[in-house]
Amino acid sequence: MDQKQRSSFTYPPRNNSPQESFNPNYDYPQFNSQNRTESPYTPSQFFNSQAREWDPHALLSNLSFLEQKIHQMQNIVREMIRTNEGQNCNISELTAQRQLLTTDLTSTIIQLISTAGSFLPTIRTSLLSGNAPIPQLGSSIPSASSAPSPSAYQPNPSPDYEELTKGWGENVVESAGQIQIEDLDVKEGEDVGQDGDTLPIGSYEVLQLEKEEILAPHTHFCTICGKGFKRDANLRMHMRGHGDEYKSPAALAKPAREPGSQPIPVKRYSCPFVGCKRNKEHKNFQPLKTLLCVKNHYKRSHCEKSYTCSRCNTKKFSVLADLKTHEKHCGRDKWLCSCGTTFSRKDKLFGHVALFQGHTPALPSDEVKGKNEEINDKDDSGGVGYNDGDEYLDMKGGYFSPMVNFDSFSFEGLDEFSRTTFDPTENSFSFLRSGSPDFARKGPGN
């Protein structure tokens, strides 16, 4: 799809100052669809404001304007009731009041739709990316003239969706046309990644979270008190304490996606570690499927292994679930490599031995002897030294620095990353871990 055209849809002029388009003193004859044709924004204005972040105050003022409007209408209605009760009703006055009310209501509805329309893409994004922090995903208060097309995030909008956008006024396209040349893509380059397991290039969107976000214990934060939660559902439950408006079934319900809208576009994730095969910059980029994959991948590949098995005191893991999986059959691994790695299956051990130069299966009862011999062997060949103490340091080193090389290998263990991570098989981890020294050694070559 043409990049330019897409960008024209993608980014609404979210920079509009709410005061200009939409303020409490705005008298509503102006606030109609006719006026919207003359967009008050020039490209220069747009440029000036483009760096501005979304402002919650703008939204708030917009809403309070609506509130004021509703109060006005309430007053009118009360007035009408009162005059009715007093029996001294003037027909013409009543008609005038009714007309006023109708106009007021119409304008309010338009206002509401406009606000909602500007929010729509934002909501959709936040729904899809799920855990992304709110500030990143926000958008400015849109003016009536800036109702953005939801197709912004959709390379191929469905006919249904186009119909929906049509309803928001025919000027939408025009106003979008003004900013057609602009590319405000904050997620620049995210869709550069190559195809994943089965997906063709471009058929999915690539998101990349920062290290801090990945490692953050909580991904859902209360906008009011700032408390963090692991799950959105828990956040919603928490929100009840902040007022009755959060107690409604709608607020508590799982945010549903827009009915009738196009199916959610396929999302893939990129690892923020530059050089990693899971990073979108890598030439053989292999995206991660879910956020959980991102987290587990990042922890396993780029973080220290802080969980040590209490039973064997040798195996270390960076993901707690991996440790738990290991503990289930710790001590049952009877296939031992000279490098100290154990395997529960012989073929896994032999696969490991086949892959790494100099590794041999250890004989059952000469573990200690075997290790000592290994040290000598390694020293002779100038390879990575193995001994009881430094073994894992070396391995970590292998994990941290040369990720490029690590990923340029493809072997079965790697597939573990793309799997949903709650069944990490023990073997694959020991396999990878023990492998790292060799990767480290081969590092400069690549």
Partner 1 sequence: MCDITAVLTVDLLAQVLDWLHDSRDLKSCRLVSRAFLQAERMHRRAIRPLRLGPLPVLLRRYVGSLQSLDLSSCPSLDDSALSLSIPCPNNLRSVSLSRATGVTWRGLEVLASVCPRIEAIDISHCVGFGDREAAAVAKACWLKELRIDKCLNVTDVGLAKVAVGCSRLEKLGIKWCFEISEIGIDLLVKKCLELRELDISYLKVGNESLRSIASLSKLEDLALVGCEYIDDEGLYFLSNGNCSLQSIDISRCENVTSVGLTTLAEGQQRLRKINAGNCSPVLTSTFVSKLCTLGDTLIILKLDKLQLLASALEIVGKNCRNLLEIGLSKCNGVNDEGISWLVEGCTNLSTIDLTCCLLVTDKSLLSIAACCRGVKCLWLESCVLISEKGLDQIASCCMDLKEIDLTDCNVNDNALKCLSRCSELLVLKIGLCSGVSDIGLSFIGTNCSKLLELDLYRCTAITDDGLAAISNGCKRLKKLNLCYCNQISDTGLAHLQLEELSDLELRGMVRITSSGITAMAMGCRSLTQLDLKRCYSIDDAGMWALAQYTENLRQLTISYCTVTGLGLCHILGSLRCLQDVKMVHLSWVSIEGFELALRASCGKLKKVKLLGKLQDVLSSELLQTLQARGCRIRWVNKPLVFKG
Binding region for partner 1 (CB under 8 A): 346-347, 350, 353-354, 358-361, 363, 366
Q: How far is the CB of 153 from partner 1 (least distance, A)?
A: 49
Q: How far is the CB of 125 from partner 1 (least distance, A)?
A: 49
Q: How far is the CB of 352 from partner 1 (least distance, A)?
A: 10
CA distance 54 to 15: 8
| For partner 1, the closer CB: 328 or 332 | 332
Q: How far is the CB of 152 from partner 1 (least distance, A)?
A: 53
Residues in the chain: 446
| For partner 1, the closer CB: 228 or 361 | 361
| For partner 1, the closer CB: 381 or 420 | 381
| For partner 1, the closer CB: 214 or 339 | 339
Q: How far is the CB of 288 from partner 1 (least distance, A)?
A: 31
Q: Which of 243, 211, 201 is nearest to 224 (CA)?
A: 243
Q: How far is the CB of 408 from partner 1 (least distance, A)?
A: 20
> Is residue 49 within 8 Å of residue 124, measured between CB atoms?
no
| For partner 1, the closer CB: 265 or 361 | 361
Q: How far is the CB of 358 from partner 1 (least distance, A)?
A: 7
| For partner 1, the closer CB: 248 or 376 | 376
| For partner 1, the closer CB: 130 or 361 | 361
Q: Which of 293, 341, 349, 289 is nearest to 319 (CA)?
A: 293
Strand-strand pairing, 228-229 and 220-221 = antiparallel
| For partner 1, the closer CB: 44 or 365 | 365
Q: Which of 35, 37, 29 is nearest to 99 (CA)?
A: 29
Q: Which two tokens stand for residue 50?
A: 């483009």
Burial 167-178 (b: 16+ CB within 10 A, else e): ebbebbeebbeb
> Is residue 278 within 8 Å of residue 410, measured between CB atoms?
no
Q: How far is the CB of 413 from partner 1 (least distance, A)?
A: 17
| For partner 1, the closer CB: 246 or 350 | 350
* Partner residues linked to 336 by β-bridges: 342
- Half-sphere exposure of 439 toward its Cβ, with a 13 Å CA cutoff? 24
Q: How far is the CB of 375 from partner 1 (least distance, A)?
A: 15
| For partner 1, the closer CB: 242 or 346 | 346
Q: How far is the CB of 355 from partner 1 (least distance, A)?
A: 9
Token pair 């893991």: residue: 317
> Is residue 50 within 8 Å of residue 43, measured between CB atoms?
no
